[in-house]
Structure 1
Amino acid sequence: MLNDLVKGKRVLFITTRNIDYIRNSQEKKLLEKNAESVEFIYSTKHSYPLRLLDIYGNIVYEKVKGLFHKGKIYDCNIVFIGFAPQLVLPVFKSFFHEKKIIIDFFISVYDTMICDRQKFRDGGVIAKICKFFDEITLRFSDYVITDTKAQADFFIKELGAVSEKIETIYLEADEKIYYPRTQVKSDELKDKFVVLYFGSILPLQGVDVVLETIRKLKGRDDIFFDIIGPIPQSLQKPIQSNVRYTDWLSQEELAERIASADLCLAGHFNGSIAKADRTIPGKAYIYEAMKKKMILGNSSANRELFREDAMHGFVTMGDSNEMCRLLPEYINKNEREQSKIAY
């Protein structure tokens, strides 16, 4: 167990994502609770290439300091590499000599770039390079963290990960921001059944299924869709009276909008990208923390944590017709619940 591995140890935490990223915050909290001490190497630069250069420079600087028996690398027992260890470990493995190396293999470069986003042809040179960096990163590691068991199985079968070195730790929402609160609707929505969806609009999330559902329910004035995220023009979002689009909100504003919804769409809803079946959407953890009813894609990963009940419904991934049939059922349930409360 990770808790046991870091207990009483001096840990150096390296990440290429912003330090308040949901996964980094979770691991930072875990390490600070269990380790003797935790030092950090990360960057606050907004540009990812500049952030990498900043981090690389800090690692080199700390290694040079170590020549004089001081510095973060010299002082630690464990090097924990968070987001995208493929961009750090293959480059600096020799710097971490005799240190135990733990990585969070949150994403596979090969799976993300080739299978999920399909940026390059599978079997081509770029695909082989991506797979090589995944494989060598796993080989260089002493312990590997994944976010679902389904992902762990994929890494074992496709990338040669060793099952004995893997632990699955599910994501957690930031409960300082996302917590249960009283539902408050604006005057124009108080008589509507509000269905909320938010996301970064990646292909595996299946926002096209959500948009197709909205399109098919154009005549349902009793349903209002609140869609948050930068939807590209290529998806041709339906413009109609029962939908609102918002490109971006702060986390605090997002939490308020979620609180005002009657039902939240979690996903993943894409039915053709294999990674969608192996990952639990981050928004599902947020909805769960806020105790909101949600609809999830019927995936292997979602079934690891959630069961069908009053708070959780499942739809076949890629099937907007099924979602169209399910939403009125939630409206009817909501009306019955409201009647009981009024009575």
Structure 2
Amino acid sequence: MRVLFVCGREPEYVRNQIILKALQQHAEVIAITDSGKNYIIRHVRLFFKVLMHRKPHDIVFVGFYGYLLVLLMRLCTRKPIVFDAYLSTFNTLCLDRRVIKPDSFAGRMIFLMDRLVCRMADVVVLDTQAHCAYFTRLYHLPPELFRVLYLGYDEEIFFPRPAPAEHPFKVFYYGSFLPLQGIEYIVQAAKLLENEPEIVFQIAGEGLRFGEIRALAESLGCTNIGFMGWVPYHKLPEAIAEASVCLGGHFSDNSKAQNVIATKTYQFLGMARPTIVGNNAANAEIFVHGEHVYMCELANPQSLVDAILTLRNDRELREKIAWGGYSHLIERYSIARIGAVLNDILMEVHAPLSD
């Protein structure tokens, strides 16, 4: 089977990288991508690349972020389209980041665009069952339109390293400081643990709310948090390997945070690090508390504190969930396993045409 792969974000984006590798397990992939930093220019270049493309293909796979590309591809081809939506534009801009009012003209247009694009695709792929159910309710779309493709991780990059030193007890998190991540609850938990001198927090990354989160830490007088700044992707395994416990998240209680599994959770478990996650419907789909991860209540810094202290005081439990989570991922969410699931989706879409 020949699959034409296009994506609105750069192909180096983690979700796109994993899907490309997974597609290549079972199909001949023709990738038309662009790594330009400017969103508009990148799409213009992609538009002309697609128009000039002449090599035959059986299916179009539109990767993240591909809402506009689905519109383009539907104009260019009658081949079946599999769309990796990954997120709701309406939810992201109007409910999570709140940069556009949901009931404004722009908000309503974004909502209609999301719904129209999903209808144009033959299959819409999302990262959890909870997310599929959310799309079905939000956009009034048929459940049979959606398929689940758990993100997984790249085991060539994230694999177990030697255990870190016992002291200090390092609690590691990285992120892009988006509202759904709930980093403010991590900062509040750090403040509650300031009388535990051996526990230190390391927070890597930059992004939308970085200044706000730093200001919160300063206003609380936190002295046990180190803000590491941006860590390049290829350097992340080194930072993760030094952690006693990793925070997978998401820790916010907004609708988006409740329906998704954080990418970093897969990466942490892939390195056999004991990982704390939010007790949401998405995480509960594939992880078991106390076996693969340790769960805490959403938007609750005290619950996060309790989880950290429990793991700090119980080395046997740390090792149990670290290696339990790692074994679980190797068995079910490796690139090979994701490729098999993705191939089933493609064959299902392609079968009616073959008949």
- Amino acid of the residue matched to residue 167 of structure 2? D
TM-score normalised by structure 2 residue count: 0.84
Deviations 1:64-98 (A, max 9, x none): xxxxxxx13xx1121111112211122442211x2
Alpha-carbon distance in structure 2 between the residues aligned to 1:291 and 1:183: 9
Q: Does 1:233 align with 2:211?
A: yes
Does the CA contact (< 8 Å) of 2:164 and 2:244 recur in 1? no
- Paired residues in the alignment total 313
Name the residue aligned to 2:266.
285
Distance 1:310 1:148, change over 3 A: closer
Name the residue aligned to 1:155.
135
Match of 1:54 among 26, 40, 45: 45
Name the residue aligned to 1:274.
255
Does the CA contact (< 8 Å) of 2:248 and 2:262 recur in 1? yes
Alpha-carbon distance in structure 1 between the residues aligned to 2:239 and 2:11: 25
- Amino acid of the residue matched to residue 284 of structure 1? T
Deviations 1:182-218 (A, max 9, x none): 0244xxxx52111111111110000010011112222
TM-score normalised by structure 1 residue count: 0.86
Q: Following TM superposition, by how much is the alpha carbon of 1:44 offset from its aligned partner in structure 2, in angstroms? A: 1.8
- Amino acid of the residue matched to residue 47 of structure 1? N
**Residues 94-243 of structure 1: pairs in structure 2 closer than 5 A:** 94-96=75-77, 98-185=78-165, 191-230=167-206, 232-235=210-213, 236-238=215-217, 240-243=222-225
Q: Does 1:45 align with 2:36?
A: yes
Name the residue aligned to 1:5.
none
Alpha-carbon distance in structure 1 between the residues aligned to 2:71 and 2:317: 58
Compare CA radii of gyration and give the structure with the larger one: 1
Is the deviation greater in 142-151 or in 302-311?
302-311
Alpha-carbon distance in structure 1 between the residues aligned to 2:163 and 2:232: 19
Name the residue aligned to 2:308.
327
Alpha-carbon distance in structure 2 between the residues aligned to 1:329 and 1:31: 41
- The runs of 4+ residues in structure 1 deviating greater than 3 Å are 335-338
Name the residue aligned to 1:4.
none
**Residues 4-19 of structure 1: pairs in structure 2 closer than 5 A:** 9-19=1-11
Name the residue aligned to 1:256.
238
> Structure 2: any 5+ residue segments left out of the alignment?
320-355
Q: Name the % identity.
A: 28
Match of 1:32 among 24, 28, 37: 24
Q: Following TM superposition, by how much is the alpha carbon of 1:297 offset from its aligned partner in structure 2, in angstroms? A: 0.5
Q: Following TM superposition, by how much is the alpha carbon of 1:307 offset from its aligned partner in structure 2, in angstroms? A: 0.7
Alpha-carbon distance in structure 2 between the residues aligned to 1:337 and 1:158: 38
Q: Following TM superposition, by how much is the alpha carbon of 1:176 offset from its aligned partner in structure 2, in angstroms? A: 1.4
Give the aligned CA root-mean-square deviation in angstroms. Answer: 1.9
